């Protein structure tokens, strides 16, 4: 039954895949935040999880590198790392982790429904597995996480400007982002 | 990851019903594995060959950026910069590759000519290359998720090696050719599907446990398609005009979809939400992978030869004779068609899902299609005689 419920939730999410960016998540020390919490800012987002061994830190490093390369122009951008493992990640530890890469980078987390909602808005994919087989909430003690590794750039009106694949690299990311900045 | 080059159409006589059999590796098998490890864990490399033709300052270590295009008539490989849609370099290999894979982790190009018992390795950083002597002629290659371990299929067995470490690890035997090899997304299991029967050997990577799964009714099947979330295994069963979907989590048959003619090897979008099916007689379907319901039924063209998805998995792309058809998977909008002069050999959707690159029969150029904006871009001249295979370290396409 839980398999069915999770599947139905994902199906519902899929039906809204073309909706503009909307989310409601928790930022440590701030409380509830939404897509409107950084007015006038371009949002550079990715999803991942704290214990991700390779893909997430690489992606966050690329995002942070791009911010450095963009220099003053990066003032227009708020980079955001969103946890898709709310079972284990907290707003406090995800915020601390994101801050290691760039002081401006926000780390956000929500409950499972909020996480599904933001993943839907981003057209991101995530799930959990044990020994290669998918598992669904309620999750066991030990499980692995899989997720898509795109980086998304939204304009201040929350319109999707571009998406960058895993491995794009900080230099290329900066070059492409710069094309959209004022 | 793999081109759909092993699609078999053969009307089998067997009428076995679905079954699922799971068996733990026997002590005899375990001993065999241990012996293989003890006997073959030695370096078997031939001398390293420095390549004088390349600029060694070029590091092709970015799997999302560099595409490697082989030439069917020479040992040359064109390096394509998929960020800028340009031909960046030309490498010289030891033989003409018949199969080619890239490790984005170890930055090596691994290939075989399917004629000799050798595996060839090209270091994309040092521009050196070497060969590993094998006791089988490679038919197909599949990298494990770790980017270090490579499965090599031969006539009646699979061997696992580590090309960079130059180590021969073990072999999985007692297989009936032809068969396909596919690791699941996390690299937990290697699926070896005997294509004349659908019997699939599931070899668990961490403990060498071997189990079996019968896909289809015992007749010929296409190469297996594993959904990126490891939830489903799918095969086309040409003799029944059907596609069989197996639920790997529940360990049971999920659904069999029947059509008017044989279906091409099933395709699953990289987000695992959609199954794309195309039949010989020109019916195409977008199926919701969770419910098994048909979301869109299309009539694009007969004899499909490639299926891909992209632009964040909202767009489907199907190649049929002389055209590329592009459609929204979730919306009932008109299908857009793009004429193509040359048959496409290999199609790769890059990791950001926005562009598709394809080698073309009878052309030295690589076709570039902008999936996001739905338009053909200027092709990339490779300088090759006949571009054939194309491999990248990272793509949007998993297990194809």
Sheet holding B232-237, edge to edge: B225-226, B232-237, B242-247, B252-258
Percentage of chain B lying above the pLDDT 90 cut: 74
Of residues B73 and B49, more confidently modeled = B73
Is pLDDT above 50 for B35?
no
Residue of A124, A133, A140 to mutate when probing chain B, most B C-beta within 10 A: A133
Q: How far apart are the C-alpha atoms of A179 and B17, rounded to whole Å?
A: 58
Please enumerate residues of B whose Cβ is less than 8 A from a Cβ of A. 62-65, 83, 104, 184-186, 188-189, 204, 228-231, 248-250, 270-273, 288, 290-291, 312-314, 330, 350-354, 393-394, 396
Q: How far apart are the C-alpha atoms of A63 and A178, rounded to whole Å?
A: 13
Out of B184, B330, B350, closest to residue A132 by CB:
B184
Report yes or no: A8 at the B interface, CB cutoff 8 Å. yes
Helix A2-15 and helix A112-122: axis angle, to 10°?
40
Nearest to A101 by CA among A158, A127, A62: A62
DSSP chain A: -HHHHHHHHHHHHHHTTTSPP--EEEETTTEEEETTSSTT-EEEEEEE-TT-SSHHHHHHHHHHHHHHHHGGGGGGEEEEEEES-TTT--HHHHHHHHHHH-TT-EEEE--HHHHHHHHHHHT--EEEEETTEEE-SSP-SS-EEEE---EEEE-TT--EEEEE-TT--HHHHHHHHHTT--
pLDDT (0 to 100) of residue B86: 96
Q: How much is the average pLDDT of B156-181?
A: 94
3-state secondary structure of B23: coil
Q: How far apart are the C-alpha atoms of B267 and B285, rounded to whole Å?
A: 11
Chain B residues close to A125, C-beta within 8 Å: 228-229, 270-273, 313
Binary contact (B64, A167; C-beta < 8 A)? yes
Q: Summarize pLDDT for A24-48 with one digit per residue, the tens.
A: 999 999 999 999 999 999 999 999 9
Give this prediction's pTM. 0.84
Among A11-20, A79-88, B24-33, B271-280, the minimum mean pLDDT is found in B24-33
ipTM value, please give it: 0.78
pLDDT (0 to 100) of residue B51: 56
**Helix locations, B174-331, DSSP H:** none
Q: How much is the average pLDDT of A67-84?
A: 97
Report yes or no: A114 at the B interface, CB cutoff 8 Å. no
Is pLDDT above 50 for B393?
yes
Average pLDDT over all residues of chain A: 88
């Amino acid at each position: 039954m839980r398999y069915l419920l999770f599947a139905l939730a994902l199906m519902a999410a899929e039906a809204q895949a073309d909706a503009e960016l909307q989310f409601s998540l928790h930022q440590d020390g701030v409380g509830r935040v939404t897509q409107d919490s950084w007015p006038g800012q371009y949002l550079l987002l990715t999803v991942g999880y704290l214990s991700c061994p390779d893909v997430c830190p690489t992606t966050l490093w690329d995002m942070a590198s791009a911010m450095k390369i963009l220099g003053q122009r990066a003032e227009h951008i708020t980079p955001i790392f969103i946890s898709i493992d709310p079972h284990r990640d907290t707003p406090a530890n995800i915020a601390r982790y994101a801050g290691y890469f760039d002081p401006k980078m926000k780390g956000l987390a929500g409950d499972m429904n909020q996480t599904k909602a933001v993943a839907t808005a981003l057209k991101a994919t995530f799930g959990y597995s044990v020994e290669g087989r998918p598992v669904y909430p309620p999750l066991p003690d030990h499980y692995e996480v899989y997720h898509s590794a795109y980086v998304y750039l939204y304009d201040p009106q929350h319109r999707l400007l571009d998406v960058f694949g895993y491995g794009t690299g900080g230099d290329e990311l900066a070059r492409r982002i710069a094309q959209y900045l004022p | 990851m793999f081109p759909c080059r092993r699609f078999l159409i053969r009307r089998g006589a067997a009428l076995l019903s679905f079954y699922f059999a799971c068996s733990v590796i026997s002590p005899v098998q375990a001993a065999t594995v241990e012996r293989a490890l003890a006997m073959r864990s030695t370096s078997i490399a031939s001398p390293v060959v420095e390549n004088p033709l390349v600029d060694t300052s070029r590091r092709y270590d970015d799997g999302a950026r560099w595409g490697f295009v082989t030439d069917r008539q020479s040992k040359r490989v064109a390096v394509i910069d998929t960020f800028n849609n340009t031909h960046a370099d030309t490498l010289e290999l030891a033989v003409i590759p018949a199969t080619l894979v890239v490790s984005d982790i170890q930055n090596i190009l691994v290939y075989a000519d399917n004629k000799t018992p050798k595996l060839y390795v090209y270091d994309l950083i040092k521009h050196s290359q070497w060969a590993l002597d094998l006791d089988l002629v490679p038919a197909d290659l599949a990298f494990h998720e770790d980017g270090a371990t490579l499965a090599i299929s031969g006539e009646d067995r699979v061997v696992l090696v580590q090309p960079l470490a130059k180590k021969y690890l073990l072999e999985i035997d007692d297989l009936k050719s032809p068969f396909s090899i596919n690791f699941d997304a996390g690299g937990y299991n290697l699926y070896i599907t005997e294509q004349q029967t659908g019997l699939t050997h599931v070899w668990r990577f961490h403990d060498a446990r071997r189990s079996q799964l019968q896909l289809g009714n015992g007749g010929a099947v296409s190469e297996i398609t594993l959904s990126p979330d490891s939830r489903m295994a799918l095969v086309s069963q040409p003799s029944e005009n059907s596609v069989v979907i197996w639920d790997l989590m529940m360990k049971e048959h999920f659904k069999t979809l029947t059509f008017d003619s044989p279906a091409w090897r099933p395709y699953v979008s990289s987000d695992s939400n959609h199954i794309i099916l195309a039949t010989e007689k020109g019916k195409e379907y977008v199926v919701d992978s969770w419910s098994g319901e048909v979301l869109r039924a299309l009539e694009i063209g007969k004899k499909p030869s490639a299926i891909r998805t992209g632009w964040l998995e909202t767009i489907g792309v199907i190649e049929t004779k002389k055209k590329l058809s592009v459609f929204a998977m979730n919306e009932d909008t008109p299908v857009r068609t793009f004429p193509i002069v040359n048959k496409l050999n290999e199609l790769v959707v890059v990791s950001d899902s926005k562009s598709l690159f394809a080698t073309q029969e009878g052309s030295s150029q690589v076709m570039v299609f902008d999936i996001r904006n739905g338009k053909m871009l200027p092709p990339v001249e490779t300088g090759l005689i006949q571009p054939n295979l194309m491999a990248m370290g990272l793509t949007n396409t998993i297990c194809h």
